[in-house]
Amino acid sequence: MSHIANALDLELKQTKQTAAELARRSSVNEAQISRIKSGLQIWVGPEDLVSLANGLFPSQTENIKLAHARLLHARLMDECCGPGAKYISLALTEGLAIPSDKESPSQPILPPGLQENLDLIALHINYDRTVQDFVKAIANLCRTRTLPESRKNRVR
Amino acid sequence: MQKFSFALYGLLRKYKMDTLQLAEACNLPENILNDWRCGRGAAPSPGHLIKLARTFSTSRKEVSENHLSLLYAHLLDDCVGPGADYLNIEVLPKALPVVAGAWSLHPLRRMSELDLAAIRKHLWYDRSLQQSIHALAEPLKSKPLPPSTKEVKPE
C-alpha cells in the first residue's frame, strides 16, 4: 500500500465519509478516489490533493490546511524513494505555528554588518546543533513579542 | 519546477554537458529536458530522477549524490498548496555538502529559515538582540564549513 492510500483511508475513516461522499464534495471522481485508496494510483496531482482536502472538511479553513498537509506529506513520502532518499527527512510539523511566520511578507532591511552576521549564522545553522538550538530559543522569544506600534511602518 | 531546474543545471554543469547530450545519453526527449531546464512542463517521475542521476555517473556514490540533489529540488518544488507550510523537508546534515556543491547554494532547514525570519523581524530595532546575534556569529567567522562534496562519503 502507498502512503497516500493509507492517508486517504485514514482521513475517510476519521471524517466518517465514503469514497462516494468525498467524490460528491470534491471535484475528484469516485473511481479515482477508489484507485488512490486501493493503492493502484500513487501520483495525485496538486489540484486534486487540494480538492480532496476541501471535500474532507468543507468550509473549515484550518482543517483543510491540516488535511492537505497530511495528504501532501503522504504523497511526498511516496515520491521520496531511490538512492538519495535516505538523506532527506520529510516531517509533518502539525501543531507548530509555522504558517503565521510565513504569512508576514514584510522583512526589514538590516545594516550590512548585522545582515552579514545573520547570513553567517544561516550558513552554519545546518551543521551546528548549538547554533540551531540557540537560534530556536531566541526565535521562540521573538514570536511571543509584537512589533512596537511606532516601529511597524519601518518594516517593509 | 524552479528548484528542479536549478538542480538539473547543476547536474549538467558538473559533467560539462548540455541538454542535447543528456537527452541522448538518458534516452529522454530533448524538449522535456529543455522544459525542465527552463522550469516548465510536467513534474519528473521518480523513474525520471533515477534515470537522470545515473546517466553520467561512474559510481554508486555519484548516483546517490546526483539523485539526492535532484530529488530534494523536486520535493521542494512539489511542496505547494494550503498545507505546505506544515511540512519540513530537509537534507540530513551529513549530506548537506553534496547538495550545497551541486546547487552552489547552502540549503537551509525550513524550521531554521522560519526561526531566522522571526528573529529578523525584531532585530533591526532591538539592541540586545543585535548583541546576541553578533556574539553568536563571532566564533563562526573563524570556523570552517564542512568539507566539499568530494569528501562526503555516503555509504
pLDDT of B155 strictly over 70: no
- What is the reported pLDDT for A47? 92
* Element housing A92 (H / E): strand A88-92
Could you give the domains of chain A?
Answer: 3-83 (1.10.260.40), 98-154 (no CATH)
Asked if B52 reaches chain A (Cβ–Cβ under 8 Å), the answer is: no
Q: Which of residues 1-40 of B touch A (CB under 8 A)?
A: none
The answer to whether B87 contacts A107, with C-beta atoms less than 8 Å apart, is: no
| Reported pTM | 0.76
pLDDT of A34 strictly over 50: yes
pLDDT of B2 strictly over 70: yes
- pLDDT band of residue B149 (cuts 50, 70, 90) is very low
Q: What tens digit of pLDDT does each residue of B19-50 get?
A: 899 999 988 999 999 999 888 888 899 899 99
Name the burial class of residue B36, with classes exposed (0-12), middle (13-18) and buried (19+) by CB atoms within 10 angstroms of its CB.
buried
Q: Which of A83, A84, A139 sits opposite B115 (nearest CB)?
A: A139
- Give whichever of A62-71, A107-116, B113-122, B138-147 has the largest mean pLDDT: A62-71
Question: Any idea where the domains of chain B sit in the sequence?
Answer: 2-151
Asked if A84 reaches chain B (Cβ–Cβ under 8 Å), the answer is: yes
- What is the reported pLDDT for B130? 92
Average pLDDT of the residues in A64-78 = 93
Average pLDDT of the residues in B108-135 = 85
A25: how many CB neighbours lie within 10 A of its CB? 16
Helix (H, G, I), strand (E, B) or coil at B89: strand
- HSE value, Cβ hemisphere, 13 Å, CA-based, for B37: 18
CA distance A13 to chain B (A): 20
For residue A116, what is the nearest residue in chain B, using CA coordinates?
Answer: B137
The torsion region of residue B104 among left (phi > 0), alpha (psi -120 to 50) and beta comes to left
